[in-house]
Amino acid sequence: MFILSGKLMFTDTILLSATTPISYFPIVLQLIAALGFVGITMFATHFLGPKRKTSDKLVTFESGIEQKGNARQPVAIKYFLTAILFVLFDVEVIFFYPYAVNFRELGWDGFMAMLLFVAFFLGGFVYILKKGALKWED
């Protein structure tokens, strides 16, 4: 409450401050709604779904294709290496989001930090190319 031109003015200081616990209420509310939806959905499918267990339903299903031979055969390491490299560079892109949101506030210091970040990963990418990690032919 403060006085302006002889009139009493009431203000809600809780809503003006972004660091108060009430500021996190929408996030908590959304988290409760999401977890509640998951719980209700799991509960509903468990109790409303069919409960007949036949021999056909208990058989392992893999895309409708019948199994032939043993699935436990060695896989080329190139697949794993490619997957790990994809995850690495995909996570790099995620780190661009905070910069994109705050690029005006970060100024030139933030821009230089992002250039250094990109240069670091480009150096790693050049190293990967020179080592031949992405070549599939032997």
CATH number at residue 115: 1.20.58
Q: At what angle do helices 96-131 and 77-94 cross, to 10 degrees?
A: 150
Domain span at residue 38? 2-131
Domain membership of residue 27 (yes or no) is yes
Domain membership of residue 118 (yes or no) is yes
Alpha carbons 7 and 101: distance in angstroms, whole number: 40
Domain membership of residue 59 (yes or no) is yes
Q: Is 0.75 surpassed by the pTM of this model?
A: no
Domain membership of residue 12 (yes or no) is yes
| Residues near 65 by beta carbon (within 8 Å), at least 6 away in sequence | none
pLDDT value for 49: 81
Domain membership of residue 137 (yes or no) is no
Domain membership of residue 51 (yes or no) is yes
Domain membership of residue 138 (yes or no) is no
Domain membership of residue 26 (yes or no) is yes
Number of domains in the chain: 1
Q: What is the pLDDT along the chain (138 residues), one digit of tens a residue?
A: 445 555 555 555 544 555 777 878 888 999 999 999 999 999 999 888 877 778 777 777 666 677 677 777 887 777 888 888 888 888 888 888 888 888 888 889 989 999 999 999 899 889 988 988 778 776
Instruction: Give one DSSP letter per residue of 10-77, joined into a string.
Output: ---HHHH-TTSGGGGHHHHHHHHHHHHHHHHHHHHHHHHS-----TTTTS--STTPPP-S-S-----H
Alpha carbons 58 and 77: distance in angstroms, whole number: 33
pLDDT value for 62: 63
Q: Cβ(2)–Cβ(9) under 8 Å? A: yes
